[in-house]
Amino acid sequence: MDLEKLSDSLCFGGRQQRWRHRSATLGCEMSFSVYLPPQAEAGAPLPVLYWLSGLTCTDENFVQKAGAQRTAAQLGLILVCPDTSPRGAEVARAPDGEWDLGLSAGFYLNASEAPWASHYRMHDYVADELPSLIEAHFPASDRRAISGHSMGGHGALVTALRRPGRYRSVSAFAPICHPCDCPWGQKAFRHYLGDDESRWQAWDASVLIGQAQERLPLLIDQGEADAFLASQLRPEALVAAASAAGYPLTLRRHPGYDHSYFFIASLIDEHLHHHAKALGRLAS
């Protein structure tokens, strides 16, 4: 697979890079960002944290705003950030003004409805194609963790729950916890998956957690000043489902914090340590 390097910068002794490749899964060119900590120079495979960003974002938001590289360098973690949707002239897009559908709004699922189905297969891209590429071309092991924010938090939860054995840990900031029952999720699911709401449940963490085949370390942080908390995010639904299933879930609520990257930057180090323990980079 051909990879084109778009940028490469020294960062805390490691390399912050951006790459482009042709995705067979999505049928278009895709970009991703990767942080290689200083330990990558030795060549021994390192564990990988995959970060899924939210609505309106690209692969660059997290690496530019979260400030995760310093701690990733200390812990020896590779950070991989895919884009949030397929892109390109051949890719379907929503009408102008529809920021929560189409480009930058892939919802990390596999679409089944026209015109989306031919390109919008972000779940398979994140869970299968991208890790295969990373592990083939970078000093990356198959010890994986996954995290994300908002729509990306939904993606991290759903991807981990749908793919037992693929990840060692999962976390999220302000995730869309019950998309079947919130406006963002309902809009996306109706377009991508069709009107049969029973099919939506396969992409809803509050449903999937009750069917989980494994118990991963799961950490969620939620700001109480988040403007989307009551209408879109619905963490109480996930907590109730996890409690009913006996799934260990740590949900931390933080007064005063909103939905922004200021919130993420304030707590990202704790998430990196959460994953480093599960990935064998820290003592338990």
Q: Is 84 helix (H, G, I), strand (E, B) or coil?
A: coil
What pLDDT shows up at residue 208?
A: 98
Q: What pLDDT, in 10s, does the model give residues 142-160?
A: 999 999 999 999 999 999 9
- Mean pLDDT along residues 127-137: 98
In this model, does residue 49 exceed pLDDT 70? yes
When pLDDT is cut at 50, 70 and 90, the band that residue 178 belongs to is: very high
Q: How far is CA 235 from CA 119, 150, 172, 181, 261, in A?
A: 30, 11, 11, 12, 19
How does DSSP assign 98-128, residue by residue? -TTSBTTB-TTSB--STTTTTT-BHHHIIII
For residue 284, what pLDDT is reported?
57
Residues 192-199: what's their mean pLDDT? 98
| Rounded distance between C-alpha atoms, residue 150 and residue 159, angstroms | 14
In the structure encoding, which two tokens stand for residue 99, read together? 């920021």
Are residues 77 and 49 in contact, defined by beta-carbon separation less than 8 angstroms? yes
Instruction: Please choose, from the candidates 134, 132, 128, 172, the residue with its C-alpha nearest in 3D space to the C-alpha of residue 40.
Output: 134
Residue 90 backbone phi and psi in degrees, to 5: -85, -5
Is residue 276's pLDDT more than 90? yes
Residue type, 81: C
Closest to 82 (Cα-Cα) out of 25, 120, 125, 119 = 125
Q: Taking Cα atoms as reference points, which of 170, 190, 148, 181 lies closest to residue 247?
A: 170
Question: Does the pLDDT of residue 38 top 80, yes or no?
Answer: yes
Residue 253: DSSP 8-state: E
Whole-angstrom Cα distance, residue 264 to residue 194?
Answer: 33
Q: For residue 282, what pLDDT band results from cuts at 50, 70 and 90?
A: confident
**Model confidence at 251: pLDDT above 90:** yes
pLDDT tens by residue, 71-121 = 999 999 999 999 999 999 999 999 988 999 999 999 999 999 999 999 999
In this prediction, residue 1 carries a pLDDT of 59
Query: Considering the chain, what percentage of its residues have pLDDT values greater than 90?
Result: 97
Average pLDDT over residues 161-174: 98
pLDDT reported for residue 97: 87
Task: Establish whether 259 is a catalytic residue.
Answer: yes
For residues 246-267, average pLDDT: 98
Distance CA 170, CA 196 (A): 29
Give the active site residue among 85, 147, 150, 206: 150
Mean pLDDT, rounded, of the chain: 97
Give the active site residue among 59, 83, 204, 226: 226
Q: Is 2 a catalytic residue?
A: no
Output the DSSP codes for 9-68.
Answer: EEETTEEEEEEEEEETTTTEEEEEEEEE-GGGGG---EEEEEEE--TT--THHHHHHS--
How far is 140 from 201, CA to CA, in rounded Å? Answer: 33
> Which CATH code fits 3-278?
3.40.50.1820
Whether 67 has a pLDDT exceeding 70, the answer reads yes
* CA Rg value for the chain: 18
Residue range 210-250, pLDDT digits in tens = 999 999 999 999 999 999 999 999 999 999 999 999 999 99
Q: Among residues 119, 191, 259, 271, which one is catalytic?
A: 259
pLDDT band at 2 (very low <50, low <70, confident <90, very high): confident
